[in-house]
């Protein structure tokens, strides 16, 4: 399921990062890689704050929809 559907506080493993090439690369550089763990810290109006590789990253809803976790 997409990251935007995940419940707060639950660690999830990333299956796939989709989206435009540039954005995908940028996300990978930030630590969103297949097999990595991501946890949603909080969300506001669809935008998320997630914890990935010990860093807090804010991402928009449209991006969160393209990160598949399971």
Partner 1 sequence: MSVKIALAGNPNCGKTTLFNALTGSNQFVGNWPGVTVEKKEGRLKGNKDVVIMDLPGIYSLSPYTLEEVVARNYLINERPDAIINIVDGTNIERNLYLSTQLIELGIPVLMAVNMMDIVEKSGDKINISKLSERLGCEVTTISALKGTGIMKAAERAVALANAKKAAPKVHKFAVKVENVLTAVEDKLGSDIPEEQKRFFAVKLLEKDDKIGEQMKKVPDVSAEIEMLEKEMDDDTESIITNERYVYISSIIGECYTKAGKETLTVSDKIDKIVTNRWLALPIFAVVMIIVYAVSVTTVGTWATDWANDGVFGDGWSLFGLEIPGIPVLVEGALEAIGCADWLMGLILDGIVAGVGAVLGFVPQMLVLFIFLAFLEACGYMARVAFIMDRIFRKFGLSGKSFIPMLIGSGCGVPGVMASRTIENDRDRKMTIMTTTFVPCGAKLPIIALIAGALFGGAWWVAPSAYFVGIAAIICSGIILKKTKMFAGDPAPFVMELPAYHMPTAGNVLRSMWERGWSFMKKAGTIILLSTIVLWFLMSFGWMDGSFGMLEAEELDYSILAALGGVFAPLFAPLGWGDWKMAVAAITGLIAKENVVGTIGILFGVAEVAEDGAEIWEQLAASMSAVAAYSFLVFNLLCAPCFAAMGAIKREMNNIKWFWFAIGYQTVLAYAVSLCVYQIGMLCSAGAFGIGTVVAFLLVIGFIYLLFRPYKESTTLKVDMKKAAMGIK
- Which parts of this chain interact with partner 1 (CB under 8 A)? 19-20, 22-23, 25-31, 33-36, 41-47, 49, 51-60, 62-63
Torsion-angle region of residue 21: left (phi > 0), alpha (psi -120 to 50) or beta?
Answer: alpha
Between 55 and 70, name the residue whose CB sits nearer to partner 1. 55
Q: With contact defined as beta carbons under 8 Å apart, do 39 and 12 qualify?
A: yes
| Alpha helices (runs of H) in the chain, residue ranges in sequence order | 21-29, 61-64
Residue nearer to partner 1 on the CB measure, 13 or 58: 58
Shortest spacing between CB 60 and partner 1, in angstroms: 3
């Amino acid at each position: 399921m997409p990251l935007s559907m995940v419940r707060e506080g639950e660690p999830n493993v990333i299956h796939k990062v989709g989206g435009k090439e540039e954005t995908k690369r940028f996300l990978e550089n930030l630590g969103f890689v297949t097999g990595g763990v991501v946890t949603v810290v909080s969300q506001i109006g669809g935008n998320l704050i997630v914890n990935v590789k010990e860093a807090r990253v804010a991402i928009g809803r449209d991006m969160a929809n393209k990160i598949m976790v399971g």
